[in-house]
Amino acid sequence: MSVYDDFNLTKDFDKDYCLQVFAPLNVAFVKGKGSYLFDQSGKKYLDMIGGIAVNSLGHNHPALTSALKKQVSELIHCSNYYYIPQRSALAYKLCRYSFADKCFFSNSGAEANEAAIKLARGYFYYKGEDRYEIITAKMSFHGRTMGTIAATGQEKFRKPFEPNLPGFKYVTYNDMDELESAVTPNTAAVMLELIQGESGVHPADQDYIKAVRKLCNEKGILLIIDEVQTGVGRTGRLFCYENYGITPDIMSLAKGLGGGVPIGATLCTAKVASGFKVGDHGSTFGGNPLACTAGNVVMDQFIDKDLLTNVGKVSSYLFSELHNLKNKYSTIANVRGMGLLIGIEFTPGISASLLRERLLGEGVLVSAIGSSTIRIAPPLNLTETDAKVFIKVLTKILKDQKKRPLSETAAYGSTAKEPGKREDYIDKELEA
């Protein structure tokens, strides 16, 4: 029996040979089609988390699958010592349809953010200015490398790996007074997510982002927008910054850009591009033919197809139905987000991890954030019919609360650990 066919063998090999940093749920997937995944036994699951906002075109999308098969048969990797046509084409599309003039490719969101941080510091270094401080927001998440955990405004990610990279300040999200007070002559950049995904899907205020852009203009500070999770159609526009009526100086992308193939991108203006000289930065795998083939297909789908309209349509349906459920069930405290990135917060005592398990048992996949919020970030071609399946299942679970409580204590008895801590996999969920 192969590990690919035997679930128990899969679990044993994972436990024995993989670093235990994920605490996976009790399922293994082997096949996908559209917005659905299939486990080793053949059971079907509606994927409402999309690989954490990665599978932008769903699973086994015909255009993406066909292009990747063709590219694999021709050339998977080629060194950046040479021109790579797929990289050139993808850079053109990203710059053509965004604020940017230049693009650098890497392999992940964390790497894209590392490049953004280096680029901001390099920009002022080559100008002969001693500006290196980066201001980020509390409760932000920018990655898991040593540089990006230093940028992340959550101590739980930084503490075990101290001393952290110096030069970062953290301010309260949506608090303009605190941000202004943090600016010094050494400030190089402000780095923000327009929607804080890891902390529970919290969008930035429109006025706040516009005021940040104005402050950066006045002080000569660079504005870095982390769109690792919100970019490439996730919020109903090609890039989330378009919803705020501003443009950044630097933007990071990843997740949905490759439709499932690892890729990251750091975009910037021509002016800011002077922060990197030949040899200042690089990536062995970044921008290779296979990854950029995936990125080109994804971009083509958004440029030539009506995917953004679908995001708006299905998003409107989901928000409407979720607000109806909120009005009906007092256990739902809040529904927030933008496009197909939605956080559903429940009242204290309702366990997001337990709710995620109940949804899994009903064949629906979501993620849990903190103790009381579930997040959905499904494929962007999710149909309204499939969205109705999610609403129907969630409604069933909420109706059944009296028989099957959604609090950890009620469900598991007095010997259970405190809510949100039973398996401690919420805080450890991979975000970038």
User: Domain for residue 267, yes or no?
Assistant: yes
- Check: pTM over 0.75? Answer yes or no: yes
pLDDT of residue 9: 92
Are 244 and 324 members of one domain?
Answer: no
For residue 48, the enclosing domain spans 7-61+306-412
Residue 323 lies in a domain: yes
Is the same domain home to 259 and 195?
yes
User: 205 and 96, same structural domain?
Assistant: yes
68 found inside a domain: no
pLDDT for 102: 98
Based on the domain organization, do 390 and 273 belong to the same domain? no
**Number of structural domains found in the chain:** 2
DSSP H helices in 18-142: 50-53, 62-74, 85-96, 109-126
In a domain, 403, yes or no: yes
| Residue 425 lies inside a defined structural domain of this protein | no
Tell whether 163 and 189 lie within a shared domain: yes
Kindly state whether residues 283 and 160 are assigned to the same domain.
yes
Are 383 and 317 contained in the same domain?
A: yes
**Is 426 inside any structural domain?**
no
Asked if 98 and 214 sit in the same domain, the reply is: yes
Q: DSSP letters along 215-258, please?
A: HHHHHT-EEEEE-TTTTTTTTSSSSGGGGGT---SEEEE-GGGG
Q: Residue 397: which CATH number? A: 3.90.1150.10
- Whether residues 382 and 250 share a domain: the answer is no
The reply to whether 345 and 287 lie within a common domain is no
CA distance 12 to 277: 48
Q: Is 322 left (phi over 0), alpha (psi -120 to 50) or beta?
A: alpha
Does residue 279 sit in helix, strand or coil?
coil
Residues 81 and 184 in one domain: yes
Beta carbons of 146 and 321 less than 8 angstroms apart: no
Q: Which of the listed residues 304, 324, 341 is the one where a domain comes to its end?
A: 304
Digits of tens for pLDDT over the chain (432 positions)? 688 888 999 999 999 999 998 888 999 999 999 999 999 999 999 999 999 999 999 999 999 999 999 999 999 999 999 999 999 999 999 999 999 999 999 999 999 999 999 999 999 999 999 999 999 999 999 999 999 999 999 999 999 999 999 999 999 999 999 999 999 999 999 999 999 998 899 999 999 999 999 999 999 999 999 999 999 999 999 999 999 999 999 999 999 999 999 999 999 999 999 999 999 999 999 999 999 999 999 999 998 888 999 999 999 999 999 999 999 999 999 999 999 999 999 999 999 999 999 999 999 999 999 889 999 999 999 999 999 999 999 999 999 987 887 886 555 443 333 333 323 333 444 333
Domain co-membership, 84 together with 191: yes
Catalytic annotation, residues: 141, 226, 255
Q: Establish if 432 belongs to a structural domain.
A: no
